[in-house]
Amino acid sequence: MARIVVITSGKGGVGKTTVSANFGWALANLKQKVLVVDADLGLNNLDVVMGVEDKIQYDIIDVIEGKCRTKQAILQDDKNEYLYILPSYHTCSSYKIDAEKIIQVLQEVEYMFDYILIDCPAGVDEGFDRAVTCSHEAIVVTTPHISAIRDADKVITLLYSYHLDKVHLVINRARGDLMCTGEMLDVSTISNFLNIPLLGVIPEDDEVPTQLLQGGMVSKSQAKYAFDILANNFHNGAEEIFDCTKKYKGLIGMVRRNIKRKI
Ligand SMILES: Nc1ncnc2c1ncn2[C@@H]1O[C@H](COP(=O)(O)OP(=O)(O)OP(=O)(O)O)[C@@H](O)[C@H]1O
Ligand SMILES: [Mg+2]
């Protein structure tokens, strides 16, 4: 049976969809069968990020409405035979869809996968409840910005009431140059404040929006390396954390910091 993991944050735009797609890709590279589910019903965009927009015939709403089976709505990734997506394509008002319906959709295919990753909508209303209720574990994504950290803190408190097996932290868009100079909160300060196990750190990387715009996962970059570490931590229980400050330390690091500041 699959481990069902919700990727959530509270605050919008911190990288839930990016993490869902790329973490899924990295787990699939470890030969784990992964289904990434777009539970952001209404404001969905996982299909675009994963480059399957043009291939969708049915989506999760069609399954819920009984127009097709879950298997018929699932798409296999072109480049990785272990990676699958259950898209949400319809623009719909989702308030009538409760968690029970999503659980039924997933029950049909749970046995086929090692991991099911649920891309949660922003906020803490019914969309959040729906996505978390059908999950066993959660990954809370935050950026190093105060507003995102405060929202992550509220979400972590809320997650306690769902009695999940585990709640992990991922810090996304970390800027090693700014952390070195103290202009951005550093990784240990954030993880000590939020006080849940740190699963990984993903750097701010220009390759992320560029490659996602082309409808593909991050393939050659610092972020790709960090997603691989994240997947290894999650799947194999390793405890490596990507050090986003490493290349900005020392004399050469100072030059790099100054160059980055001028770009
Ligand atoms: N590590 C990163 N480096 C650079 N850009 C990033 C990174 N992570 C995410 N982004 C960019 O940030 C933007 C928001 O990311 P994303 O859509 O994944 O956030 P989200 O939390 O899913 O948003 P929403 O709450 O609206 O669903 C996107 O343009 C994405 O390309
Ligand atoms: Mg999203």
Check: CB of residue 1 under 8 Å from CB of residue 110: yes
For the chain, what percent of residues have pLDDT higher than 70? 95
> pLDDT, tens digit, for every residue of 188-200?
999 999 999 999 9
194: part of which helix (H) or strand (E)? helix 187-194
pTM score, two decimals?
0.94
Is any ligand 1 atom within 6 A of the Cβ of residue 222?
A: no
With the most atoms of ligand 1 within 8 angstroms of its CB, the residue from 8, 11, 17, 222 to mutate is 17
Q: What average pLDDT score do residues 65-75 get?
A: 95
> pLDDT, tens digit, for every residue of 2-15?
999 999 998 999 99
Ligand 1, atom 16: nearest CA belongs to which residue? Answer: 15
Ligand lying closest to the C-alpha of residue 244? 1
Q: Cα–Cα distance between 48 and 44 in angstroms, integer? A: 9
Amino acid at 155: V
Q: What average pLDDT score do residues 39-60 get?
A: 89
pLDDT at 257: 78
Binned at pLDDT 50, 70 and 90, residue 220 comes out as confident
Domains of the chain, with CATH numbers?
Answer: 3-262 (3.40.50.300)
Q: Which of 13-17, 52-56, 118-122, 236-240 shows the lowest per-residue confidence on average (mean pLDDT)?
A: 52-56
- What's the number of CA atoms in the CB half-sphere (13 Å) around residue 177? 14
Average per-residue pLDDT for the chain:
92
The residues facing 38 across adjacent strands are: 119
Question: pLDDT: is 203 or 221 the higher one?
Answer: 203
> Near ion ligand 2, which residues have CB within 5 Å?
16-17
**Phi/psi of residue 6, nearest 5 degrees:** -90, 135
> pLDDT, tens digit, for every residue of 158-177?
999 999 999 999 999 999 99
State the distance from the centre of ligand 1 to the C-alpha of 179, rounded, in angstroms.
20
Q: Cα–Cα distance between 23 and 36 in angstroms, integer? A: 10
Ligand lying closest to the C-alpha of residue 212? 1
- State yes or no: pLDDT of 42 exceeds 90: no
Is any ligand 1 atom within 6 A of the Cβ of residue 22?
A: no
pLDDT at 263: 67
